[in-house]
Structure formats: C-alpha cells, structure tokens
Amino acid sequence: MHSEQQLPEGSVRTVDLAVIGSGPGGYEAALRAAKAGMRVCLIEKGALGGVCVNWGCIPTKALLQSAELFNFVKKAASYGLKVEGTEIDLAEAVKRSRSVAQKLSKGIAFMLRRVQVEVIQGEALFSGAHRLDIFREGMSVETLQADYIIVASGARSRQLPGLEPDGKYILTSREALALKRVPHSMIVLGGGAIGVELAWFYAMAGSAVTLVEMMPRLLPLEDEEVSEVLKRSFQKAGIAVFTGAKLEGVTVSGDQVNGLLVVEGAEPLPVTADCLLVAVGVTGNCDTLGLEQAGVESARGFVVTDSSCRTSVNHIFAIGDVRGGMLLAHKASAEAALAVDTIAGKEPWPIDESMIPRCVYADPSVASVGLSEREAEAQGYTLKIGRSMFAASGKANACGNLEGLVKLVFNAADNRLLGAHIVGHGAVELIGEIALARRIEVTAELLANTVHAHPTLSETIREAAENALLE
C-alpha cells in the first residue's frame, strides 16, 4: 500500500498508467502493466478486489456453498446417512463468506506489492485528460499525471423509483449478503443471475421466497429450454416463481413489505414478506468520476468504448462493468489484457462475446456459451440440436443429481459448434470444455469421438454431440 507521506503542496506525481478500481479488471490491468515494465498506480476507494471479491462473485459463491451443503444434509437419509438436528446458522455462514473475501483481498494486495504497483486509497476525479485528483474523506490529498488511464470503476445496483433500499426491508444484493438471520419470507424482484442465486440461497436457508421477473422467463438471456428447466426446479424446491409479472404498490408497514403482483390476464395478487430484494440490474459507476473534464463520453449509464476498450479519448480506456455489455468478472479480466496490450503497442486478440461463458450458481446451476437455438435461427443458420439428459448419466445417478441436460447447437452445414447450454448440478464446471470447443470451432464429430472418462458428468457432452449427429 502507498505510504501516507504527503507530497509538497501543488506537486504532481507522474506515472505511466493510472488504474481506477481494483476489481478483476482493475487489478489484472495493474498487474499486467507492471509486469510489462510500466510504472503503475491503482486507485481504490474500498477494499482491494472491488465488488466481485468483496460483495459479489466470491462471497455469494461462499454462501451458496453453505446452502448447497445444508441442502445435501437435509437429503442425507437418501444416501444412507443418519443426520439429525441440522439448521443453517446464517451469521456463521456470512462470517465464513466474509473471511473468504478478506483472504482473497489480501492475496491481491500481496500480488500488487510483489510487482511494485502503488495502491492509493481514495476516490479518483478527472481534472483533465491526463490528470486525476485523489480524494480521501472529501479532502484532496494527491494529484496524478498519467500517460494512460484505465477506468475500471465497476457498477452498482440499479434503483427503481419507490423502491429505494433502506437496508432493512428493501435490500440490494449487498445487504442480502450480510443478513444476520434468515427472514421468514422474502420477495426477490428480478430473475437474472443475482436474483436467481439469492432466491435459491434463501429458499434453501428456510425463507418462503417469491421470485418475480418482468420478462416471460427466468434468465431471459439464456436458452428457453434451460430457463424452463430452472423454473420447474425452483417450483419443486418451493420457490413461488412469477414470470411476465410486475410488482406494484410496494409499501412497508408493520415490519412487513406489501405489494401487488400483476400478471397480464389475471387478478392482482397481494403479496407480503419480511423483506424485498431488488435485483433488477446495474448501472456503471461513471457519474462521479468527472469524465466530462477529460472529454470521455458516456451513454445510458456506461462509458462508451470501441472494440479495444478505448474511450472517446485516445489514451483513456474503460474495462469491466463500467463499460457495459456482458457484466462478468472474467470478461473484465479479458478486457484488462486487451487494454494493456493495446497500450503496450501490441495487437491483441479481439474479444468476441459469443466465446465468453456465462454461469449462474444456483442448484441446478446454469452455464452457457455462444448462440441459443433461437439466436442461431435468427441469424439464418440451419441447425442440428443435440441433447443429453443428466437423468441418463451414470455419474449423475450415483450422485443423486438427475435434473437438467446438456444442449448443443450446431451449424448443420458443417456441424460446427455454435452454442452450448447446460442446466444441472455441476454445469458451471462443465462449461470450460465447451468454451474451448467453441473457441476453436470444434465439430460435432470431434466432440462425439473424444473419449471421455467414465463415469463422469462430462460424458453427457459427448452424448449430446452424438445425439446431434443422429438428426
């Protein structure tokens, strides 16, 4: 970390690269640039690792692991195990998730120190195209002059009028990750990745969960077949799922959140819960950076960039959630490499979002890469579709996880893989093989003729490819 030694008044520190934000994009950019020989400063107003490490990907997955183990223990008798008196201790589960996050944050600090990246604690504000003023507790403490600047400031939960979070009854995902007790009931507004994951977690922990999604299906960006499997699984688990629905007239009274569920063609349904989690997307953290002082363009809550992550100002780049597009940590890391290599004068591989895997960590989990069946048809492809059900898998049967399937989408003209969609236990660990297959444009024949170990869940990928070849 940088020392608290104050520079003489009016002095300016000069660096090759300043990085704003230390999430997966920011710290990866700083590490890569430092290893390339640049003098790098990284500015972070909170804990190192950003939202992903501290309040997003990592603590969420730690909590989901607790819920998965708890759910397994509840079914222990079916595995020949006698377990009695189990309950989830939410405070201890949250404590563990915070410990995991803090460990990873400290690891990032160590890696940055090792390559001599200077970390400045504070908030960055552009005062010119190459200048950043650093503020701490509202006071300007330092000014940086940088040849290049990478904005990696992330995003925050989008707020809806009338549903402003209060931390007790109306929550964002951040508050939901730090509750000390399991609410008896919860409404989750938003059926995207965050809403689905937290709805599943609290349902497994014992809450009566109502999940409301305005679009016609859960995970509306995923393949329709996958969304339907997930919905049925959630309903089987006791989650009340309403799609094509709106939540209106929300009020807080008597320690309860009240509202009306409005579904087209049906009478409005009154709903009541201990709390409401609003998970309706995010907006980029670009409105407090003074981007206009540098001439950087933004639109619809995100920084505008080209395919190299370059903004409207030639030496300023934006990566990760603040740039928009797919809001994924691994995409931010890939963009960090792209931006730094561009700054270094290299010609890096462009990022093709159709090659980036997407994962949702409920159970069953969801993972996909490339085009859905509907997207491929819309692009004019004639298709071969291969499916393999986990219910037919020896490993899935041995483990007792029979829900879901692998669905592969191939171009019928040359049998090249266009997309893959998995819903089922372990889906997020299976997607790596298919992401590589998609990247190198593997055919159905190559996948079908690749020997997979038995018994494994990965055999289902081979069987789905074989199924496609039967068409």
pLDDT at residue 376, rounded to an integer:
97
Spatial separation of the C-alpha atoms in residues 297 and 305, rounded to whole Å: 8
For the stretch 162-207, pLDDT in tens is 899 998 999 999 999 989 999 999 999 999 999 999 999 999 999 9
Tell me the pTM: 0.92
Closest CA to 152 of 305, 25, 291, 293: 25
Spatial separation of the C-alpha atoms in residues 171 and 163, rounded to whole Å: 9
Q: Is pLDDT of 308 > 60? A: yes
pLDDT band at 11 (very low <50, low <70, confident <90, very high): low
For the stretch 197-209, pLDDT in tens is 999 999 999 999 9
Q: Among residues 130, 315, 425, 454, which one is catalytic? A: 454
For the stretch 124-152, pLDDT in tens is 999 999 999 999 998 999 999 999 999 99
Break the chain into its structural domains and give their ranges: 13-157+283-343, 170-280, 364-469
Tally of CA atoms within 13 A in the half-sphere of 87 that contains its CB: 7
Contact 385, 470 (CB under 8 A): no
CATH superfamily ID and name for 13-157+283-343: FAD/NAD(P)-binding domain (3.50.50.60)
pLDDT band at 4 (very low <50, low <70, confident <90, very high): very low
**Region 403-407: what's the mean pLDDT?**
97
Q: Is 330 a catalytic residue?
A: no
**Class (C level, CATH) for 364-469:** alpha beta
Strand partners, 120: 43
Q: Which stretches of 86-138 are assigned E, i.e. beta strand?
A: 118-121, 123-126, 131-136
pLDDT at residue 266, rounded to an integer:
86
CATH of domain 170-280: 3.50.50.60
Spatial separation of the C-alpha atoms in residues 39 and 34, rounded to whole Å: 6
pLDDT at residue 254, rounded to an integer:
85
Domains 170-280 and 364-469 share a fold: no
